[in-house]
Amino acid sequence: MKKRIFHRGHNIENATGDPDGWKTTINGRPVSSKLTLVKKSIDWWCDMKAFMPPEKFATVGSQAQQADQKIEDYKGFKLMNDSGKPNEWYVILRGRLLKGSPIAIKKHLDAVIEKLKQQQK
């Protein structure tokens, strides 16, 4: 039984039932891989108008998984560190990116929270 999916103007099909058996054609080039990687190739083509084979996305994903990612919850905010280095923490506050050491970020968050409390009084 063939499975077919339509993604961003491209038909993706799997005739074998194998998880790695998804196939489509992007800009005249046949591609075959896992469904998520084929979709990423299609997305890349649609957004950038440049062909990127699914194998490139597989190596990027494995590198990201190898990174020592840390997440810390502080008063409802998620402080994140993707690199594992001590001063490369970040948080998004009101659509703005704050970067630095966790101590400095926490001090800034405390100041912002205190200011908001004073404004509400």
What's the pLDDT tens digit per position in 88-108? 899 988 888 999 999 999 999
Residue 12 binned pLDDT confidence (cut-offs 50, 70, 90): very high
| Nearby residues of 115 by Cβ (< 8 Å), 6 or more positions away | none
Backbone angles phi, psi at 25, to 5 degrees: -125, 125
* Res. 111: pLDDT tops 80: yes
* Res. 19: pLDDT tops 90: no
- Give the model confidence (pLDDT) of 50-62 as tens digits: 999 988 887 765 5
What's the mean pLDDT in 16-45?
A: 91
On whether the pTM is more than 0.75, the answer is no
Q: Per-residue b/e over 7-43, b at no fewer than 16 CB within 10 Å?
A: eeebebebeeeeeeebebebeeeebebbbebbbbbbe
